[in-house]
Amino acid sequence: MHHLLCDTFGLLAILAALTGRTAADPTAVAAAEVVWKQIGEAQGVVGMAAVGGKLFAATAANKLVVCDPVAATVVWREIGEVPGRVVAMGVADGKLFASTSTRSGTLHLRDAVETPAAWQHIGHCWCCVGMAGSAAMPGKIFGAIVVNNGAAGVAESIMVRATTPADVPWATAKAGQRPPLGILAFAEVAGKFYAVTREDNLFVSGLTQDDNAWRLRGDAAGVTILAGGDGKLLATTKAARLLMWQPK
């Protein structure tokens, strides 16, 4: 059922992919070497979002946990629950957003605080692999969408919607914000979008029309989940390592 919902939601993504898609150049040379630093472990983490110097994460056990990612020893602390099996998290306007893999593909938000807080259902979000907001573009939340359409192939797109009110529709973002092929994770740091692909590459793109091409930035080091905050890119790997890198 979830795949059928993804197929329905993917109609806009397919049209976007067929109309002048801007693809990343896999042969491009990274501007500088990306050196990831391990800062801890991330066992069971399925989604992450960073804000206010804290890193929030959803776990496979449907718990919401938080840590200080710059502490000498990273310690996760449980602060509540998440509204279902989370597949992506993000931050926009100081709120945590979570997309679930339920049959209805729900989208929820709550205050980004280190104490229990209620999640609010604000609509739908199918087939999401990552979400991000940007201080440069307030009032918007972006989602990286991957739609498997069987014989028609896989279509990736960046979608955008308003953070409020509830249940507003998603729309296809401009051409330069469509992700590179095989995207696994998506985040924003310091006015740039970052994407990790299945080929273990890290790409970067600007937010403006003048800086909208995806460029190879470096090695993704096995990363499958991304979060951005305080000028740093935070990530978890297939081996459940918690990594950090600060773009120059």
Task: Please tell me the predicted confidence (pLDDT) of residue 21.
Answer: 41
CATH class, range 2-23+36-245:
mainly beta
Reported as a single tens digit per residue, the pLDDT across 157-188 is: 999 999 998 889 999 887 556 789 999 999 99
**pLDDT exceeds 50 at position 19:** no
- Report the predicted TM-score, pTM, of the whole model to 2 decimal places: 0.86
47-59 confidence digits (pLDDT tens):
999 999 999 999 9
Do 83 and 98 meet the contact criterion of CB atoms below 8 Å apart? Answer: yes
Domain ranges of the chain: 2-23+36-245
DSSP result, 38-62: EEEE-TTEEEEEEETTEEEEEETTS
Cα separation, 188 vs 195, in Å, equals 9
